[in-house]
Amino acid sequence: MGTRKLAIWVMTDEYPPDMIGGLGVVAHQLTERFRQAGHELFVLGTGRTKHLEIRQEVSGVKIAKVPGKVPKYRKDRYCFEPKAVLGELKDDFGKVPDLVHVHSPEYVGIAEILSSHHQVPIVYTCHSLTSGRKYVLKAKKQARLLRLANRIAVPSKWMASRIKRKFPGLEGKIVVIPNGIDVVNQPSHEQGSPYQLLYAGRIAPLKGIASLIRAFARLNRRNKQASLTIIGSGRPAFEKKMRLLARKLRVNHRIRWIPRVTHEEMQGMYHQYGAVIVPSRLESFCLVALEAMANEIPLVATQAGGLKTFVDDSNAAIIKSCTPTGIVHAVRQMWQNRQLTAERLVKARETANRYQWSDIVQQYLDLFGQLTASVPEVQEEKES
C-alpha cells in the first residue's frame, strides 16, 4: 500500500482490559500491528463506567470507551447512538478517518454516518454470525453492517460460505483472512502432566461444554489423576447450570474454574497443561486451537466449522462427534498413543507457523490500501 499512512478507526465491543474471547484478542493484535506499521489508530470500545473515557496508551493508540449501559449513548441494547457518541468525540477526534475497521455490530450506526456523510471505506471483520430468537435485534444490526461494509473479512472459507448462503449478493465483498498468532519459540518449560486438561473459551452451549464435563466425569472415574481447568465465562444462568452439572457428577473438586485471564497470561499458562480440549459444535476459526499448536500442547478438537481449516488427524486427536463418548474416545487416544501424539505435535508446530500475525496483518494492509487508493490524501477536503 505504499508509504501512505492512514488514520484508522477501530470499533470493537471487546478491547483490553474488557475482553471475553477471541474477538477482543484479534481486534487488539491487529490494531497494535497497524500502529507498528506507522498508521494512526483510534479505538472506539465499550466501557464499564457511566461516562465516556478517552485515554492514550503508551504505544500511542488512542482509545475511547463508550458506556455500554447509559441511555444517552445507547439506541438499544445492541446499538450505540451515533450522534451522541460522535458529538462527544468531536473535540478529541474530530478528524475524519481514512478507513473504519469494525469488529462488532453495535457500531453500525456510527459506521453508517461516516460512510454516507464522509465516504469513509468500511471493513467489517465478521467473527461469527448472530442467530437465535434471543438475538433478533442484534442479528438485524449485523445484517445492516454486512450490507454497509465495502469489504467483509472472515477467518475461514467455511465462514465465507455461511455468509454467502444467508446473504445472497454479498459474494464480491467477502475476503478470507485467517486469524494469526505470534511465533512461539521452542517451549522452555517442562510440559504439564498429560492428565491435566484445559478448556479456554466462552461457556456457551455451542462450545460443547456440557459434553466436556460429562466426558471428564467418565475419564476421571478411570483415572483419578485427571483434572480439568475451564477458563472463560458465559451467561450467568448457563454457567451456573454447568457448575451444578459438575457437582451432580461429583467432579466439581477436580474442575478449576477461572473466569478470566489476559491474553498474555494465557500464553504463559499453556505449558502447565497436558492437552487443550476444543469440543465445539460451531467455530468460525478458534484461536485457542491454533495457540495450543504453537505452544506444542496436544490438541483434542472437533473439526466443526472453521476448525477444519487447520485441524486434521495429522496434528490433533479428532473428536468425531461432540458427545461425551466422542470426547472420551479422543482424549484416551491422546493418552494411550504417546508416539502418535508426539508426531502430531511436530505437525501442529508446522501448521501454526503458517499463521503468523506478520503475514495476516499484511493481507489486511493490502486490503486497506486498495480501498483507500482513490481517497484524497488532503484531509481538509474530507472535512469540508
State the pLDDT at residue 56.
Answer: 85
pLDDT at 192 over 90: no
What confidence tens digit (pLDDT) does each residue in 279-329 have?
Answer: 999 999 999 999 999 999 999 999 999 999 999 999 999 999 999 999 999
At 355, the pLDDT band (50, 70, 90 cuts) reads very high
Alpha-carbon span 373 to 330, nearest angstrom: 50
Task: Provide mean pLDDT across the span 27-44.
Answer: 95
At 133, the pLDDT band (50, 70, 90 cuts) reads confident
State the pLDDT at residue 380.
Answer: 42
Alpha-carbon span 174 to 117, nearest angstrom: 24
Q: How far apart are the first and last CA of the chain?
A: 26
At 384, the pLDDT band (50, 70, 90 cuts) reads very low
Task: Provide mean pLDDT across the span 95-109.
Answer: 95
pLDDT at 154 over 90: yes
Describe the crossing of helices 108-118 and 82-93 by its angle, rounded to 10 degrees: 60
State the pLDDT at residue 140.
Answer: 94
At 93, the pLDDT band (50, 70, 90 cuts) reads confident
At 186, the pLDDT band (50, 70, 90 cuts) reads low
pTM of this structure: 0.91
pLDDT cut 90: percent of the chain above it: 77
State the pLDDT at residue 55.
Answer: 87
pLDDT at 251 over 50: yes
Between 10 and 2, whose confidence is greater? 10
pLDDT at 37 over 60: yes
Alpha-carbon span 143 to 221, nearest angstrom: 47
The x, y and z cell numbers of residue 34, run together, are 497497524
Alpha-carbon span 328 to 300, nearest angstrom: 10
What confidence tens digit (pLDDT) does each residue in 212-221 have?
Answer: 999 999 999 9
Count CB-CB contacts under 10 A for residue 89. 18
Task: Provide mean pLDDT across the span 32-42.
Answer: 95
pLDDT at 248 over 70: yes
Q: Which residues, at least 6 apart from 115, have a Cβ–Cβ distance to it below 8 Å?
A: 100, 121, 122, 148
Q: Among the listed ranges 164-173, 222-231, 268-277, 373-382, which one has the minimum average pLDDT value? A: 373-382
State the pLDDT at residue 260.
Answer: 87
State the pLDDT at residue 231.
Answer: 96
Alpha-carbon span 276 to 295, nearest angstrom: 11
Task: Provide mean pLDDT across the span 161-166.
Answer: 96
3-state secondary structure 210-233: HHHHHHHHHHHHHCCCCEEEEECC
At 381, the pLDDT band (50, 70, 90 cuts) reads very low
Task: Provide mean pLDDT across the span 39-53.
Answer: 91
60: left (phi over 0), alpha (psi -120 to 50) or beta: left
156, 130 Cβ separation under 8 angstroms = no
Residue whose cell numbers read 490438541: 299
| Domain architecture of the chain: domains with CATH | 7-180+357-383 (3.40.50.2000), 196-352 (3.40.50.2000)
